[in-house]
Amino acid sequence: MSMNLTLRIWRQANPGTPGRLVEYAAQGISPDMSFLEMLDVVNEQLIRKGEEPVAFDSDCREGICGTCGCMVNGVAHGPDAAATVCQLHMRRFKNGDTITIEPWRAAAFPVVKDLVVDRSALDRIVRAGGYISMNVGAAPDANAMPVAKGLADEAFDAAACIQCGACVAACKNASAALFTAAKISHLNLLPQGQAERGRRAVAMVDQMDVEGFGACSNEGECEAVCPKEISISNIARMNREYLRARLVAR
């Protein structure tokens, strides 16, 4: 049983020209297709008609790389919990549905083309403090540095961030607080991250602000759309780390 859908897709030729929503009919869509496969089918039809296909990002198509991402009916990555848009399936929709598809919107995420946005602001936040200092030489023994189980778990949960940018897209303030908090938590919780603990918190928050992201209003929309279900308790930790670093660290 196949489905016929109406798509309203954001089309924008390049960063300089204004975009608009354009309606397309998606016919003969199998409920077993993924959302991105559905877009592939639509694009093939567009190419056959000699029209420009819809540009969108994707790579692994199994929810691990963080390349894909768009707003599906007003929700980042669509309606499924703990899933990227590449893991969303068409069986989530009904025959005859209208689906609005828009790019992530933020001043810090300029549209490159159609659904593709430039997320390099997130890379610059990571570059500002997402590293640890190590002595070069032989690899240390794997068990030389004990890490408490609870801390290891929390650090790992934060490290699950795939940098897709859905948190920014979902936030009413286009804040990157959850992303930055996850990156700070990931390293600040671990013994390997202690050397740069204070400098990391300050440098990464600084960079987040310089990029023009908004402030956090604690609505938790980010946590709700995060494909890795990263908790906003990381944001509380970021604020503690930042406060501590600005007050006491040198």
Partner 1 sequence: MPSRLSFFSSTVGSKILIGLTGLLLFGFLIGHLAGNLTLLVGAESFNSYAHKLEGLVPVLYLAEVGLVAIFVLHVVRTLLNVWRNTVARPTRYSDKRRAYHTSRKSWSSTTMPLTGLFILAFVVLHIRTFKFGAFYRDPTTGERDLFRLVAEVYQNPLYVGFYVAAMILIGMHLNHGISSAAQSLGLSNQRYGRGLVLGGRMLAVVIAGGFAVLPLYMYVAY
Residue from 30, 67, 173, 233 that binds ligand FES (CB under 6 A)? 67
Q: Is 185 in the site for partner 1 (CB under 8 A)?
A: no
Q: Is 34 in the site for ligand FES (CB under 6 A)?
A: no
What is the H or E stretch that residue 117 is in? Answer: strand 116-117
Amino acid letter, residue 244: R
Report yes or no: 216 and 157 within 8 Å, Cβ to Cβ.
no
Q: What is the DSSP letter of 109?
A: B
Residue 175's DSSP bridge partners are 214
Total residues contacting partner 1 (rule CB under 8 A)? 58
Q: Which stretch binds partner 1 (CB under 8 A): 37-45, 88-96, 133-141, 217-225?
A: 217-225
Of 47 and 215, which has the nearer Cβ to partner 1? 215
Shortest separation between residue 66's beta carbon and ligand FES, angstroms: 5
**Cα–Cα distance measured from residue 183 to residue 187, given in angstroms and rounded to the nearest whole number:** 7
Strands 3-11 vs 98-102: parallel, antiparallel or unpaired: parallel
Q: Is 162 in the site for partner 1 (CB under 8 A)?
A: no
**Cα–Cα distance measured from residue 96 to residue 93, given in angstroms and rounded to the nearest whole number:** 9
Q: Is 75 in the site for partner 1 (CB under 8 A)?
A: yes
Phi/psi-derived region of residue 165, left when phi > 0, alpha when psi is between -120 and 50, beta in every other case: left
- Closest by CA to 42, choosing from 4, 97, 91, is 4
Q: Is 59 in the site for ligand FES (CB under 6 A)?
A: yes
Q: Is 245 in the site for partner 1 (CB under 8 A)?
A: yes
Report yes or no: 245 and 198 within 8 Å, Cβ to Cβ.
yes
Show the site string, 7-46: x = touches partner 1 by CB under 8 A, - = not.
Answer: --------------x-------------------------
- Closest by CA to 178, choosing from 213, 211, 127, is 213
Residue from 11, 61, 105, 244 that binds ligand FES (CB under 6 A)? 61
Residue from 12, 34, 84, 175 that binds ligand FES (CB under 6 A)? 84
Q: Is 86 in the site for ligand FES (CB under 6 A)?
A: yes
Report yes or no: 129 and 184 within 8 Å, Cβ to Cβ.
yes
Binding residues for partner 1 (CB under 8 A)? 21, 71, 73-76, 79, 81, 100, 102, 105-108, 154, 170, 172-175, 177, 198-199, 201-202, 205-206, 208-210, 212-221, 223-225, 231-233, 235-240, 242-243, 245-246, 249-250
Binding residues for ligand FES (CB under 6 A)? 58-61, 63-68, 84, 86
